[in-house]
């Protein structure tokens, strides 16, 4: 067995994988995201002011991973025109997920700024077009695979940061995912959001 040849082959495959992930990462850095104004920033925490955001959303039952996967599939079918006439809608970031009391999870895709509620294609069954009103949002940014334990840890840190500033949480915690599954964990951009007054 030629271990040197196998080593070179493995190194080549690894280099291609890293290059591919790098291209995805660079492409996703230019993906359209909602505008906002930073009111305050400290390390990985920030307080932002967002204008109204138009979203397509679906409610899916079950645990977070299952609901997020199903919701992503339903919304991807809509924006990529799999079950409707018309053009595709560009993918934006982030994908938002929020626990819906007694109903599972609400998964939302932010719609591109070029669209209004009236100019979006008619949504598929199980999808609602909705406007998130203008609001102030406290956020914490982190990298890595956003599993339940890490999301709970970051949510607790954000809650402490909010309390220390005398802000009042409004509604539930939202998880914001900015990258596709192809991006390696250390390069992933995730956030926890909490609307505040």
Q: What is the pLDDT along the chain (197 residues), one digit of tens a residue?
A: 555 655 566 555 555 445 554 554 455 568 999 999 999 999 999 999 999 999 999 999 999 999 999 999 999 999 999 989 999 999 999 999 999 988 799 999 999 999 999 999 999 999 999 999 999 999 999 999 999 999 999 999 999 999 999 999 999 999 999 998 778 888 899 999 999 99
- Residue 54 · residue 96 · CB < 8 Å: no
Instruction: Kindly provide the b/e burial profile for residues 5-39, where b requires at least 16 CB atoms within 10 angstroms of the residue's own CB.
Output: eeeeeeeeeeeeeeeeeeebbeebeeeeebeeeee
Quote the pLDDT of residue 103.
79
Quote the pLDDT of residue 153.
98
- Residue 192 · residue 172 · CB < 8 Å: no
Pairing of strands 169-177, 190-196: antiparallel
* 77 three-class SS: helix
Question: Positive or negative, the Cα torsion across 152, 164, 174, 23?
Answer: negative
DSSP 124-174: PTT-EEEEEPPEEEEEEEE-S---HHHHHHHHHHHHHHHHHTT--EEEEEE
Element containing residue 188 per DSSP (H, E): none
Query: How far apart, in Å, are the Cα atoms of 99 and each of 68, 122, 142, 172?
Result: 10, 25, 20, 7
Quote the pLDDT of residue 149.
96
């Amino acid at each position: 067995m030629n271990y040197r040849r196998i080593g070179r082959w493995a190194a080549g495959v690894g280099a291609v994988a890293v290059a591919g992930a790098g291209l995805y990462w660079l492409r996703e850095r230019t993906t359209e995201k909602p505008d906002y104004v930073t009111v305050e920033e400290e390390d990985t925490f920030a307080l932002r002011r967002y204008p109204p955001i138009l979203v397509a959303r679906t409610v899916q039952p079950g645990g977070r991973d299952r609901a997020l996967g199903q919701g992503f599939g339903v919304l991807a079918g809509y924006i990529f025109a799999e079950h409707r006439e018309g053009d595709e809608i560009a993918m934006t970031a982030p994908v938002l997920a929020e626990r819906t009391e007694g109903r599972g999870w609400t998964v939302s895709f932010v719609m591109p700024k070029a669209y209004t509620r009236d100019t979006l294609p008619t949504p598929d069954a199980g999808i609602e077009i909705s406007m998130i009103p203008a609001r102030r949002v406290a956020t914490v940014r982190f990298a890595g695979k956003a599993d339940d334990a890490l999301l709970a840890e970051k949510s607790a840190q954000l809650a402490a940061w909010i309390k220390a500033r005398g802000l009042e949480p409004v509604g539930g915690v939202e998880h914001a995912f900015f990258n596709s599954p192809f991006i390696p964990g250390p390069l992933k951009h995730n956030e926890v959001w909490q609307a505040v007054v």
